[in-house]
Chain A
Amino acid sequence: MATTTAQLIVTSTDLLSDSLSLSAISTLTNGGGTTGITQTTGLGRTKSEATSLYILYDQSALGVPAASAHKVYIKNMSTNAAQFVTITINAEELGRLYGGDWCFFPWSAHDSSNDISITPSVSSALVIEHMLFFES
């Protein structure tokens, strides 16, 4: 098994009158156990040049099991704050990643239409960095 950790740190000295310094760290394990996730797509980058819907992770093509503890990382590498990509799961909108934003979330891949897709806001070149950790 592999040992992979994901750490989040959120800080702010002026969002509230009490300084915010939140830290969360997790070891990526298979669902329901303590065995580390052993598979990954690797860290990838995808450049889009249209405002079409792109399937980033295709549940059927990957053949990943349902109701598991897969994890997804996506970052919008644009430096333009107005350029965003809309993240969807099976056509349900999760949110918009604006230039520089990233996200990290679990993916249960519970059926064949449960793909993770992106739709860029611009037709000029826009680069997305992404990675999937998955169990088999």
Chain B
Amino acid sequence: MATTNATLTLTSADISSDALNVSRAATLYKADTTTGLEQTTGLQKTIFSAVTNIVLFDSTALGVNKAAKVYIANKSIDPAEFVTITINAQIVGRLYAGDWMFIPWSQSDAAGNIELQPSVATALPVEYMMVHEGITQTSA
């Protein structure tokens, strides 16, 4: 098995009168176990040049109710540019330039794809990766 760690650090000296400094680490395990996730799509980068809604990660039977983790980052440097993230047509949120997200993905049904729609048709770079338990392979 592999050992993969994900750490989140949230800091702010001035969002409230009590300084925020939260650091949380997690080891990425398979569902219901302490066995590390051992498969990944690798870190991918795509430069999108249309405002078309595209499937970033396709839900597959092997992923249903498992413990896959998904990372997506909008690498644009223009603060007005965003990508809208949806799961099965349900809008999760907008990642503006520089924003990132890290979520569990249980692929609860065949339509539960993770989709992305850029706000602009000019070159918009997005980085993404999934660490997972398995992907159902399509026969050739």
Contacts and interface: CB of A to CB of B under 8 A. Distances in A.
A15 B87 contact: no
B5 A110 contact: no
Contacts, number: 200
Given A14-B2, A32-B82, A114-B91, A4 B20 contact: yes
Given A2-B12, A43-B22, A13 B3 contact: yes
A105 B11 CA distance: 16
B interface majority secondary structure: strand
Contacts of B71: 8, 10, 22, 24
Given A3-B13, A15-B40, A22-B71, A31 B101 contact: no
Interface size bracket, B side:
35 or more
A108 B131 contact: no
Contacts of B80: 32-33
A8 B8 contact: yes
Given A10-B6, A12-B2, A38-B15, A102 B100 contact: no
A24 B74 CA distance: 10
B31 A98 contact: yes
Contacts of A8: 6-8, 71, 100, 102
A90 B103 CA distance: 16
Interface of A: 2-16, 20, 22, 24, 26-27, 29, 31-34, 36-38, 40, 42-43, 67-71, 73, 75, 81-82, 84, 86-87, 89-98, 100-108, 110, 114, 129, 131, 133
